[in-house]
């Protein structure tokens, strides 16, 4: 896999990585299109920084179907519990079971080993509705000001 060049954004307190090859939502989920047409979903570096140290991840049951915007997972930190929303409609293909025993992977590596779910999409064109890295960076910057 080729190393992703990402940008950092944020104020003086925290800097967030934003890889250029991903799509993003305004709820701070990221989406990566895989070669087989499925997508991998996780929460952004910005989101994990805001949540703090994760202590628990609740993943969905195998075979579930989600409409765009449905709650599809829960991440719990020492600060709060937060729903993660399906950024696209699709059928659950896989969950990252490693997070059950090691939820801190989301903190240490949110874009690789800290992914949450993989979805099979009935309509790949929904990807076009998501933010690219530049638009997400601008969204984060505006929400922090």
pTM, rounded to two decimals: 0.89
Over residues 82-135, the pLDDT tens digits come to 999 999 999 999 999 999 999 999 999 999 999 999 999 999 999 999 999 999
pLDDT 10s digits, 35-51: 999 999 999 999 999 99
Q: Write the pLDDT tens digit of every residue in 16-26.
A: 889 999 999 99
Complete DSSP assignment for 19-72: ETT-EE-TTSEEEEE-TTS-EEEEE-HHHHHHH-SEEEEE-PPTT-EE-TT-EE
CATH 3.30.830.10 applies to domain 28-130: no
Q: Where are the domains of the chain?
A: 28-130
CA dihedral 93, 106, 73, 44 (to 10 degrees): -90
Distance CA 63, CA 101 (A): 22
């Amino acid at each position: 896999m080729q190393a992703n060049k990402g940008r950092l954004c944020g104020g003086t307190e925290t800097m967030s990585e934003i890889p250029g090859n991903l799509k993003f939502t305004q709820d701070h989920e990221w989406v990566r299109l895989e070669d087989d047409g499925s997508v991998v979903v996780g929460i952004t570096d910005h989101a994990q920084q805001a949540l703090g140290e994760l202590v628990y991840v609740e993943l969905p049951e195998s075979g579930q179907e989600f409409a765009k915007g449905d709650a599809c997972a829960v991440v719990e930190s020492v600060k709060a519990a937060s729903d993660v929303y399906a950024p696209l409609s699709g059928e659950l293909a896989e969950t990252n079971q490693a997070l059950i025993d090691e939820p801190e992977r989301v903190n240490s590596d949110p874009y690789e080993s800290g992914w949450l779910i993989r979805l099979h999409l009935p309509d790949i064109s929904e990807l076009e509705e998501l933010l690219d890295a530049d638009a997400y960076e601008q969204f984060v910057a505006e929400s922090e000001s």
